[in-house]
Structure 1
Amino acid sequence: MPDRAKPVVLAGIDGSTSARHAAVWAAGLAARRGAVLRLAQVYLIPQPGITGPAVRGVRAGFAGRAEDWLAEAEADVLRLWPSLPIERVVEEGNPVAVLLRESADAELAVLGSRGLGGFTGLLVGSTAVALAAHALCPVVVVRGRRPADPPPETGPVVVGLDGSADSDDALGFACVEAAARGGVLLAVHTWNEIRPDGSARGLELDPREVDAAERSRIESQVAPWREKFPQLRIDVEVVRGRPVRSLLEYGEEAQLVVVGSRGRGGFKGMLLGSTSQALLVHSTCPVAVVRPRSEP
């Protein structure tokens, strides 16, 4: 029987190498948090041209293949964490809808960066993007330097901050992960000529003054978390430029990049901001997207 007293880490499985890397990554996090690992495989049967008794055979074939994929992922996990509790979910339906439902009682949802049948240029499938935008828990897309590479295991945890409540939730998540890994947390804030409210700073811009003001603001945001995690080293980097480029550069040496789902200036209808989505596509390490707790 599932242990409902324990938290759940959800991992989507589709038979790809990327998904198996994601399952192992999720298992490590579940082990550190004392959580149950839930492996989910959702298949959708193509309907055109399949009718009558043939449907039962096709359905049985898809279900059998799903069980095989879960068994492969579970074997990978148990080689490293033989005592980790594991649940399996095999279901026919829309993958996004099922994974969103499963995320309702999960602490975290984890996916690979590309699945079977994905186009070469589409490094993050629609399932990953939709889940990151709408899941009821933080979502991690596990990535390596190349599509088939495992994710890095060393380096700092990097969190992108912009002073908003959205990024504060991301900061809290990043502190927990960095502390659990015994590593360093690097808080990165990027500023440019456009203010958070969308207005231009003007021709009188003094980069040194702006940098000092932005650093003071981010240090104020980080200060309460330093008190909550006194053993965790938190470094702050304030740079002038574009958030995506800065986070990608710092992510080159990181083992995890954490961002909010939207930052300052985000539209309420746009549940996944441009920075978050670009990182999901281009990062060379896993990316966690954390939606604000206040968001319905």
Structure 2
Amino acid sequence: MVERLLAEAEKRARTVAPDVEVSRAVVTGEPLTVLEAQSRAAELVVVGSRGLGSFVGLIVGSTAVHLAAHGQCPVLVVRELGQGTEAIVVGVDGSSAGAGAVDFAFAEAALSRVGIVALHAWTPWNAPMPPPQDEAMPYANEPGALAAQEERLLHEALVGRQEAYPGVSVRVTCMPRGRLTRNSCRR
């Protein structure tokens, strides 16, 4: 049965995208471990937004969340049919790997003729404290300084991309992780 499903999926992929190299394989093991390992040699990993797991109510499945955080290549999370794509959401963290994800998202958005939502979520616990400008000042953030620093990180990660893809509209979202999680559950 698995071979038949794979053969059908391969045939459909080749029909939809004849210029794309398609391969198939049956790999046994824990899905998260296998997919993360496969991402090391892949150019793109595509997963559905929801799996067959028991985390009811999640907007995105736990496999997609894990791969987005730990995959070694761009991860494309595909929503169910019938849910129109208004924008491509890309997580921005300021890293070199994250820069690759931003580049990929802009290229895909241009091809798909949709916009980008550039998203950066942060917590006070994972954000570095900026050094004081004057050593006589106490080593502490002024109110709002951390949020401003995280906003700068997001905007700096987008530098040059908007000029390279002038037809792609960009919306930026930068907020503490907890607030972002609460807002995303309202969709």
- Which TM-score band applies after superposition, normalised by the shorter structure? 0.5 to 0.7
More strand per residue: 1
Partner of residue 242, structure 1? 176
How far apart, CA to CA, are the structure 1 residues paired with 2:107 and 2:70?
Answer: 22
Residues 103 and 136, structure 1, Cα contact 8 Å, conserved in 2: yes
- How far the C-alpha of 1:107 sits from its partner, in A, is 0.8
Post-superposition CA distance 1:163-195 (Å, at most 9, x none): 444543332222122112111122234567668
Residues 103 and 135, structure 1, Cα contact 8 Å, conserved in 2: yes
SS in 2 for 1:185: strand
Unmatched 5+ stretches in structure 2: 131-138
Post-superposition CA distance 1:118-175 (Å, at most 9, x none): 33649646x65665555432233434xxxxx437332122223344445433322221
How far apart, CA to CA, are the structure 1 residues paired with 2:156 and 2:5?
Answer: 47
Flag the 1:94–1:184 CA change in 2: closer, same or farther, 3 A.
Answer: same
Flag the 1:247–1:105 CA change in 2: closer, same or farther, 3 A.
Answer: same
Which residue of the other structure, out of 108, 116, 119, is the alignment partner of 2:54? 119
Count of aligned positions: 174
Partner of residue 118, structure 2? 187
Residues 10 and 23, structure 2, Cα contact 8 Å, conserved in 1: no
Partner of residue 109, structure 2? 178
Flag the 1:245–1:227 CA change in 2: closer, same or farther, 3 A.
Answer: same
Which residue of the other structure, out of 57, 72, 86, is the alignment partner of 1:136? 72
RMSD of Structure 2 on Structure 1 (CA)? 4.2
TM-score by length of 2: 0.62
Question: Quick check: which has more Rg, 1 or 2?
Answer: 1
Higher relative contact order (CA 8 A, sep 6+): 1
Q: Does 1:152 align with 2:46?
A: no
How far apart, CA to CA, are the structure 2 residues paired with 1:244 and 1:228?
Answer: 33
Partner of residue 225, structure 1? 161
Residues 161 and 218, structure 1, Cα contact 8 Å, conserved in 2: yes
TM-score by length of 1: 0.44
Flag the 1:197–1:134 CA change in 2: closer, same or farther, 3 A.
Answer: closer
How far apart, CA to CA, are the structure 2 residues paired with 1:136 and 1:195?
Answer: 21
Q: Percent identity?
A: 31
Q: Does 1:81 align with 2:2?
A: no
Flag the 1:220–1:181 CA change in 2: closer, same or farther, 3 A.
Answer: same
How far apart, CA to CA, are the structure 2 residues paired with 1:105 and 1:72?
Answer: 24
Partner of residue 44, structure 2? 108
Unmatched 5+ stretches in structure 1: 1-64, 144-148, 252-281, 285-296
